[in-house]
Structure 1
Amino acid sequence: MKSGDNPPWCIERAQVFVHTGNGDRHHLDNLRLDKKNENRRIWLHDLHGERLFLCQV
């Protein structure tokens, strides 16, 4: 991949933990990037796609 003004991103893991004001808690994850699976990566770039979707687990 090339570097420059807008280089691609390599995502190896992404998790989001949300704690709402009313006490609800949510865990969002992309299970394709789970560390149990070796060599899991997602490239983000205008040539490959620019969005990563997370699901509630």
Structure 2
Amino acid sequence: MSDVNDIFQVDYEPRQKELHINLPEELWNKIDSIIITRHFNELKKIRILHRESEVKQND
């Protein structure tokens, strides 16, 4: 069975209007930007400026 860190998964949360993307750690470290498309036409490009193993949340 795969470790949870090896799973690529995308979940949509309609109430929050959020998309949650889980990427394997080795893939995450290789990504410089995320491109959002509709029918394969680019809508928005999000640049990854920094990477941290733990995300800090504002309470």
Query: Please, what TM-score do these two structures have when normalized by structure 2?
Result: 0.27
Structure with bigger helix share is 2
Larger radius of gyration, structure 1 or 2? 1
Query: Please, what TM-score do these two structures have when normalized by structure 1?
Result: 0.28
Relative contact order, higher structure (CA 8 A, sep 6+): 1
Structure with bigger strand share is 2
